[in-house]
Structure formats: structure tokens, C-alpha cells
Amino acid sequence: MDKSWATFGRDLHLDLTGPGGLRAGLTRALREAVRTGRLAPGTRLPSTRSLAADLGIARNTVAETYADLVAEGWLSARQGSGTHVADRAQPHAVPARRPAGPGHRAAPRFDLTPGTPDVSAFPRTAWLAAARRALTAAPHEAFGYGTARGRPELRAVLADYLARARGVRADPERIVVCAGFMQGLALVSRALRAAGGGPGRAAGRRGAADRGPGTTPDGWRPGDGTVATESYGLDFHRHVIGRAGLRTVPLTVDAHGARTAELAGLDDVRAALLTPAHQFPTGVPLHPGRRAEALNWAAEHGALILEDDYDGEFRYDRQPVGALQGLDPDRVVYMGTSSKSLAPALRLSWMVLPDRLVDPVLAVKSTGEWQSGSLDQLTLAEFLSSGAYDRHLRGMRLRYRRRRDALVAALAAHAPHVRVSGIAAGLHAVLELPPGTEQSIVTAARWQGLALEGLSRFRDPAATEPARDGLVVAYGRPPDHSFAGVLDALLRALPPEPQAD
């Protein structure tokens, strides 16, 4: 029985069509593959027998083609070592794009933009050990496509961890694993749009006889609606909500977080997206009184709180602020992620849903949404249950706190006129600036090789409160070895202290 083509050497994608017959087509295809760099210098080619079998042509045709290309200098061949792409057969280089002009600046040396932790500190050794244990113990069905809800092993471990570390009241059956926070927000938004949201302030406590047609027993109804978002936050969160067919309206943010009392004055608001533990980007926790206001509003109007607990595990000066969900799990969607605690590349996040929202979210997620890889889910479950996650977080808290302290000390010594806030938790701080100076300082930072975002970058254009000038400094992002250089560049970009008259 002849050997299958799949048993021979490495595969080559070669198109033999064109004038001149098979030999000419093969010569042309190999020459083009070398010229364009698809076959790099030094690459070993399949034997004449293997390639002939793969392509379904005569072995002599391949041998003659190889000989022709060796003679031309494209290939090299030595007895006993096979045929290789010649070392001097360099592909044509694509010309580098020239700078746009004299104002062109090189890529920044240091990155202080928020959104990413210190990825150089990812616990590779511990993660690999957990992956090996998880892979060894994985049931056969774990290598299938998975389910919309997520691996049961991870959901069970998450329920225990979130209760212990964040005060979340979670049952594994109410946890849905997602491929990142953005997917979770999109799923909830689409579920609200499809299955309905809060009926608005006028209908919060109506009886069944008073509900309109199509309204569910708990007061929800399908159709258009609005989600309240914090006036300072991430614009792509608003975009995700908008793409789901819902509108957004801003809630004012001040020194105590979002002004949740404003919710009672808004019509047709089905949910409020909040960052209670550490407002992004201002860095303040939501005041206890406002937490109570938000929950009371949700209960009265049949609405939801979407709790973004993006970095709640990183608190430095006192005990972490517990999750809002623990106070009312039937009104709060808790949303957590591994993007700040481990790395964004894992694409692992989770939602703890009220009972009434589980089926609508799963219905949306089952229509073709990406699933997180089962093996990564099993690895995270093992990482959590073994205690490696807690050990990693303790180490990273110490590392990030040292950087925060170094930032505060450097500002106190060299720029005492710049006030820093939002430093009790998280991976970033806010440097407050005089009105009208933010953009010029962001530009000066670029000239110092520093990528930096101003506070205005995160302000909702629909916000009504006066704009604030400031810098959002993500001290958690640069690796340790570069942090001294980061501080030097930042201090050079800051304005000098105003001189007294």
C-alpha cells in the first residue's frame, strides 16, 4: 500500500498553475517563494521523493527543478545534507516608511497609559506548573468546544475565591466565564436589549395588572433603554453598550465617586455601570451612602447595577473595599477579570449574574460568541485552588505599592505643587494640574519619550460638570528595571512650580 502524502516531510504551499507545464510551474513557484521570503535562507526543502508525492508529479521533475534552481543560485545542495534555500537568496526588502516630517517623534520609551499591568511579572513558572497539573487531570470532554457557561471546575473555584476575597455572594451556576470584560459587558447589554430592562421610574412597584403588554413578571420588558455610566470612564465601554442598541447617559463623578442620587431623576434607565471599589480613572471609592442610594434605586425601579471590579484586589493602605454585589446579589451583576491581576493575554473574565439574567445572557452567548479556551480555564482553576493566585497577588501588591510610594516621594521632592490623588488602590494615580495645562504637559511628556493620557481623555462628551485637568499615571505598567527612568522622564515633563509675585 502506498504511503499517504501526509507521512512525508514538511508541507509547502506551491501553486503550479501557469504556462510552460509542471516543471516550469514548479520552478516558478519555488523561485517566487524564495524571492518573497516565504522560504527563508537556510530552510531545508523536502526530498525529491517527498515533494513529488505531495504534489502528485514525477520525481524526476522535482529533481530537475532543484538542479535548475541550484544552478541559478536560489538553492544549494550537498551530498548527505539535502537541498536548502541558499544563504544569499535574500527576499526583496519592503522599504521602510519614512518619517512624516520634521515633527516626527520616535515611539515612546516608556508607557504610562492605563489598562495593562506589568506583564513582565507574569508568573510563568507557577502558571506552567498549574497548566501541567490541570492538563494531566483534565477529563476527555474538556478538549471539546466547551459550553457558554464555562468550565465547572473554574466556576466552582471562583465562587469560593470571590466570596473569600471580595465578599461576593456567588453560586457556580450563576457564574459565566467570558473572553474578557468587554465580552461580558456586551453580553449583558445585548441581554438587556433582547429580554428587557427596568421599566423606568414610574413603573417600579406596579402590580401585574398595571404592567404593559410584553412586560415580564419582575417588571422587565424588551425594547430600547438607557444605561447610566460614570462621566469619567472608558469610551469603548459606552460604545459596546451603544452597539447593543442601548443609549448611555452620564452620572457626575466627584470626590466621592458617582453621584448615584442622579439616577432617580433619569427616565428609562435599565442599568448603571459603576466602578465602586476604585472609580476609573479618578481613583476614589464609591461613598457608602451612594452605594446604598444605587441599590435602593435598583430595587425601586427593577433595574441593575453593573459592577466593574477591574482592580479591586489591589488595595494598599487598608482592607479592600468589598464588592457592592455582596449587599444585593439579585440587583448587581458582578464583573471581574484576570487582565489586571495576571495578564490581558489570558482573555479570562467572569460575571456573577442575578438569577433572572442567567438564561438571557446564556441565550445570547450561545449564538456564536467566542468561548474562552477550556485549558486556560482549567489552568486558572488549578492556579486558584493551589494558592498560587493568592501568592502572586501578595507579591504584586508589594511591588505596586513600592512604585506608588516612589512616585509620591518623587513628586513631593521635585514637584510639590502637583497634587496626587486616587492612590489608595489600583495601578494608577491622578496628578491634578492647573486648568488649561493638561494638553501641553501630555505633549511635553511625549517629547520625553513617555506615553501618557490626560484626564480629559476619559471624560464623556455628554458630561455636564466642568472638565478637570490632570494626568492618569499608570505606575503599574512599566517593569521594575525601567521605573527610575520613568519617574525622571515624568518629572521633566511636569510644569515648574509657580513663582510667587
Q: Where are the domains of the chain?
A: 5-85, 110-118+391-493, 123-207+215-388
**CA-atom Rg of the chain in angstroms:** 29
Question: Cα 294 to the chain's mean position, in Å?
Answer: 27
**What's the confidence (pLDDT) of residue 224?**
64
State the CATH architecture for 123-207+215-388: 3-Layer(aba) Sandwich (3.40)
Pairing state between β 269-274 and 226-230? parallel
Are 308 and 181 within 8 A, CB to CB? Answer: yes
CATH number of 110-118+391-493: 3.90.1150.10
User: Can you tell me the distance from the alpha carbon of 231 to that of 219, in angstroms, rounded to the nearest whole number?
Assistant: 28
Query: Is CATH 1.10.10.10 correct for 5-85?
Result: yes
Length of the chain: 501
Ranges of beta strands (E only) in 107-246 are 110-111, 175-178, 226-230
Per-10-residue mean pLDDT for the chain, 501 residues long?
A: 41 80 90 87 89 90 91 85 78 50 65 94 97 96 93 97 93 96 95 65 37 41 77 95 94 96 92 95 95 96 94 84 93 96 96 95 90 94 97 96 96 94 93 93 93 95 93 94 93 81 54
**What's the confidence (pLDDT) of residue 137?**
96
Bond into 276 cis (ω within 30): no
